[in-house]
Copies of this chain bind each other. A is one copy, B any other.
Amino acid sequence: MAHSDSALYVQSLAGIPEVTTETDLPKVIAEALERYAIKVQFGDVLVVAQKIISKREGRVIRLVEITPSAKAQELALGLEKDPRLVELVLSESTEIIRAAPGNFICRTHHGFVCANAGIDASNVGGASNTVILLPQDPDASARKLRADLKQRFDVDAAIVISDSFGRPWRLGQVEVALGCAGIVAASDWRGLTDADDRPLVATISAHGDALASVTELVRSKNSHRPVTFIRGGGFEVTVQDGPGATSLIRPLEQDLFRRK
């Protein structure tokens, strides 16, 4: 399993236990890699599901602790949603993009445009009645995990933190990169030329998102495989952590789909 630009090997890891604020995440990941006899080397990538990062960082909220504002209560009526969830979504957002039943799309503090500000409410109404917020700074989370894995376990991997987002014109969700450390998430080919020596236009490759989306192919929604190992490929891994997945966020002034 040598590194090749034109080949990629992907393995999702079983056996990661349920994560809480007490979990030693670098340790359980290092142990999972060991069970697969994977000796990580520079150039390898680990894609980690946002959910376990958020759980480790205590971003789990019990709805019973939330008192919805008047604005959240009013909005919740129209959206047919729990007003406490709406309150949380508003507190995580800088802008409501669309609000209709089944479609509550916001821009988060990070700049992500996604449903429910990325809050996972699949357990709302269940025994636990909790929701999970996105990490406060996913790039920082990725950098921390990378450093810990390297220092404590000699696991020298680039890190991608992923979550599934919908798309406005396509059905289904794809995983995208919320946080990165050590990979060039947005690989810029502008300035290079094509076969006829004409400049290449509009050719930034979203490698961070491509790495995230691979994970959809090696785990199913009700399996528990929140960590995926990737080796090979022609994307760029760096010694420095780099600008992270923030480089994949389209600046607000370039957004053509804001309501004026």
Interface set of A (CB-CB < 8 Å, partner B): 5-12, 14, 98, 100, 103, 105, 107, 112-113, 115, 122-128, 164, 166-176, 186-187, 189, 192, 194-198, 200-207, 209-211, 213-214, 216-223, 225, 232-235, 247-250, 255-257
Contacts and interface: CB of A to CB of B under 8 A. Distances in A.
A186 B170 CA distance: 10
Nearest first, the 3 A-B pairs at minimum CB distance are: A172-B206, A126-B196, A113-B169
A128 B169 contact: no
B9 A205 contact: no
Contacts of A128: 196
Contact of A6 (B113, B186, B197, B225): B225
Given A128-B196, A196-B127, A222-B192, A172 B217 contact: no
Summarize A's interface: helix, strand, loop or mixed. loop
Contacts of A219: 6, 234
Contacts of A223: 6, 234
B210 A8 contact: no
A52 B216 CA distance: 27
A198 B129 CA distance: 11
A185 to B, nearest CB: 8
Contacts of A235: 216-217
Given A113-B169, A192-B221, A214-B214, 12 more contacts: A6-B219, A8-B217, A113-B168, A123-B195, A123-B196, A126-B198, A167-B250, A169-B250, A171-B249, A172-B204, A203-B221, A210-B213
Contacts of A9: 7-10
A221 B220 CA distance: 31
Given A6-B11, A11-B7, A219-B6, A186 B214 contact: no
